[in-house]
Amino acid sequence: MMVVGGVIGGGIFVNPSAVAARTGSGVSLLLLWVIGGALTLAGALCFAELGARRPQAGGAYIYLREAFGGLPAFLFGWTMLLVNYSGSIAAVGMIFARYACAAMALPDTYVKPLGVGAIVFLAGVNWFGIRAGAFVQNLFTVLKLLAVAALVVTGLALAGVDGTSSAFAADPARAHLPAWALVGALLPVLFSYGGFAYVNNIAGEIRQPQRNIPRALGLGMLLVLGCYVLVNIAYLAVLGHGGLAASATPAADVMAHMFGDAGRRVIAIGIAISTFGYCNIALICAARVLQVMGEDGVFFHSMSRLHPRWHTPNRALLGVSAWAVLLTLSGSYNQLLNYATVGDWLGYAAAVATLFWYRRHHIETTPGYRAPVFPLLPLTFIATVALVTVIMLISSPFNVGMGVAIIVAGVPVYALWQRLFSQ
C-alpha cells in the first residue's frame, strides 16, 4: 500500500497527454510506459536490497551517510526536505484541494484553506503512531485503486473491440516527430513512476523488513505498472492517440463520455482521494528523514525526539508540515519543484550507487535479499537517470541550473552547522 500510494498520485491522470504529444502512435506510447515501469522496477529492486541491508528509518539518507560520508547525505536530506518532500506535499495538497472543490462544487476561495487543512489533518493522524497512519494509507490506496479500476472499465466499455484496436494506429499529425522527441517523452513517464523509495524511509517500523521490503517494492511496482498500462489503454480506446495528445484532462474526458458532468465529478473525487493518500505518505517519510538528521546532529536535535507514548517523530512531523503549509500559502512550491526535479532523480541514482559500496565492504552481510543481475541492474538505472538529466539540461537549462544551485547551497550550510553545533 505504501509503494502503490507513493507512486500513484496525480500524474497518471494528467501526464499521458504529454507523452502522447511526443509519440507517433498508441503502440509507441504504451511501449514507453512499459519501458519506464521496467526501468523504475530496476531501481526499486536495488532499493529492496538496500532496505533489507539497512532496515532502519531514514532510507537513502542512511545509505549515503554510510557509503559516502556526511556531506552527500546532508545534501540529499537538505534537498529532499527543503524542496522535494515539502514542496510535493504542498503541490499535491493543492491538487487535492482543487479536485475536492470541483467534486463538491465549492468556489476557488476554498482551495488554499482546504489544502492547508489536509496537511494539518494528516499531521494530526500520524501523530498517533504508524498504525493510525497506516490505516489512513491503506484505506485511501484501496479507494485510489477503485478509482483507477472505474476509469479502466469505463474506457474499455465505451470503446468496444473495434475502438480499442483502432486506437493503436499511427497518428498522422505526429508521424514525423524526431527521435529525440521520443526520448523526451520518457521524462513525464519516469516522473509518474517516482515515489517508489518512500517505503525505505520507514523501514525501521516494518515487521520482518528483510522479507517485506523486497516484497512490497517488487509487487507494488508490478501493480503500478499494470495500472498505468491499463489506464493508458482506456485513454486510447476512448480518445484515440490524437485526442489524448490534445486533452488537458484525459481522465475527466473519458468519464464524461459516459456519465457527463456526473462522470467528471466522480473522477474528481477519485483524483482527490489519490492525491490525499500521496500527501500522507510524503509526510510520514519526510518526518522520518528529518528525525534521523536530528539524531546525526546536522539539524536541530529536538527534531530527533519521539513522542513518549506513541513513539512517533512528533516534532519532525510539526516541522515538515509547518514548512509545507508555508509553501502552500506562499504559492512558490511549483517553481521549487521545477528546480528540484533533477535533484530528486539524482538522489535516487546516488542511493542506488551505494549498493556497490555495500557489496564490496559488507560481503559477509546476509541481507535476506539481493538485487538480481548485479551489476547490470543498478548500472542500467544510473545510466537512465544520467540520460534523463542530460535531456533535462538541454530542454530546461535554467531549471536544471537552479536545481544544482539548491544542492550546492547546502555545502556552506553544512560547513557552518558543523562549525557552530558539532561537538
CATH of the domain at 226: 1.20.1740.10
Tell me: pLDDT of 213 over 80. yes
Provide the pLDDT for residue 192.
Answer: 84
Residue 374 Cα distances to 45, 64, 366, 381, 386, angstroms: 11, 19, 16, 12, 19
| Each residue's pLDDT tens digit, 289-324 | 888 888 888 887 778 787 777 777 888 889 999 999
Provide the pLDDT for residue 164.
Answer: 45
Q: 91, exposed or middle or buried, with CB in 10 Å at 0-12, 13-18, 19+? A: buried
Say if CB 291 and CB 279 are below 8 A apart: no
CA 100, 104, 110, 113 dihedral sign is negative
Provide the pLDDT for residue 172.
Answer: 64
Provide the pLDDT for residue 344.
Answer: 80
| Each residue's pLDDT tens digit, 147-163 | 889 889 988 887 654 44
- pLDDT (mean) for 184-196: 82
pTM for the full predicted model: 0.86
Concatenated DSSP letters of 103-151: HHT--GGGHHHHHHHHHHHHHHHHHT-HHHHHHHHHHHHHHHHHHHHHH
Mean pLDDT score of the chain: 84
User: Residue 400 — very low, low, confident or very high, per pLDDT cuts 50/70/90?
Assistant: confident
Q: What are phi and psi of 170, to 5 degrees?
A: -65, 145
**Three-class DSSP labels, 165-222:** HHCCCECHHHCCCCHHHHHHCHHHHHHHCCCCCHHHHEHHHCCCHHHHHHHHHHHHHH
Tell me: pLDDT of 139 over 90. no
**Separation of alpha carbons 184 and 182, rounded Å:** 5
Provide the pLDDT for residue 162.
Answer: 44
Number of domains the chain is built from: 1
Range of the domain at 171: 2-421
- pLDDT (mean) for 210-237: 92
Pairwise pLDDT comparison (240 vs 423), residue with the higher score: 240
- pLDDT (mean) for 354-369: 81
- pLDDT (mean) for 263-273: 88
